[in-house]
Amino acid sequence: MDKIPTSTLKRLPQYIEVLKRLKKAGLHEVSATKISVFSNIHHTLVRKDISFTKVAATKTGYKVIPLQKAIEELLDWVDISSCLLVGVGHLGSALLGYQEFSQRGLSIVAAFDNDPQKIDTKVHGVSVYSALDITALALQEKIRIGIITVPPESAQLIADIMVHSGIKAIWNFTPHKIIVPPDIIVEYVDMFASLAVLSRRLAEQHHIK
């Protein structure tokens, strides 16, 4: 399996958005230039990224449906299947109800919390279990992906439990950097990193004027 650069992987979902919109608008073919305009990504990058799919362009461009399918396969989104989520606070609850996830093939099959008021309830249709049951359930269901939405100070503990429970990929929504064995894949959705850039740039701009 080819190793695809991270920068390409991060742009691929945007092409899927564009292709979906073009499909809705009734288009069957699209050029790299048009994808470039709609995604606001330079056309040389678009061509490079699409080359990983091995889908070839005809004179009039790429066929929309096969290209979307090829990108989804490249992202393995048809295959992601089940994951678990630990931390059913505001953010965790929101993720449980986030329909876009299931549209991308990510299905959260179980949620965990240590609040007795939340345990044995359902949030957006997903059962909430005691955090003590993570290992038993993960091993039994052979779950490979874990989402962390606990407070930052508990992130490492939950990561340790996940690794111990056979989880191979961790999606960390806390700003806390977790330490895991090298074969475990970790991705961060760090909102505060993003907020830091936003607020500083705004301050810089304000001081220039």
> How many binding residues for a second copy (CB under 8 A)?
68
Give residues with Cβ within 8 angstroms of 17, minimum separation 6: 39
Using CB under 8 A as the binding rule, whether residue 196 contacts a second copy is answered as yes
SS3 for 49-63 is: HHHCCCCCCECCEEE
Closest to a second copy by CB, 58 or 205: 205
CA-nearest of 114, 77, 110 to 95 is 110
Using CB under 8 A as the binding rule, whether residue 157 contacts a second copy is answered as no
Closest to a second copy by CB, 65 or 185: 185
Closest to a second copy by CB, 58 or 100: 100
Using CB under 8 A as the binding rule, whether residue 27 contacts a second copy is answered as no
Tokens of 163: 């690794």
Tracing tokens 């992130």 back to the chain, one arrives at 155
- The CB-based long-range contact list for 11-18 (8 Å cut-off, 24+ gap) reads 11/39, 11/41, 11/45, 11/49, 12/49, 12/71, 12/74, 12/75, 13/75, 14/39, 14/41, 15/39, 15/46, 15/49, 15/50, 15/67, 15/71, 16/68, 16/71, 16/72
Contact with a second copy (CB under 8 A) among 43, 57, 144, 154: 144
Residues 39-78 that bind a second copy (CB under 8 A): 39-41, 74-77
Using CB under 8 A as the binding rule, whether residue 9 contacts a second copy is answered as yes
Using CB under 8 A as the binding rule, whether residue 192 contacts a second copy is answered as yes
Using CB under 8 A as the binding rule, whether residue 118 contacts a second copy is answered as no
Of 42-50, 59-67, 132-140, 199-207, which part binds a second copy (CB under 8 A)? 199-207
Q: Backbone phi, then psi, for 121, in 5-degree steps?
A: -100, 180
Contacts with a second copy, residue ranges (CB under 8 A): 1, 3-4, 6, 9-14, 17, 21, 39-41, 74-77, 79-80, 90-91, 93-95, 97-98, 100-101, 104, 106, 124, 144-145, 152-153, 168-169, 171, 175-177, 179, 183, 185, 187-208
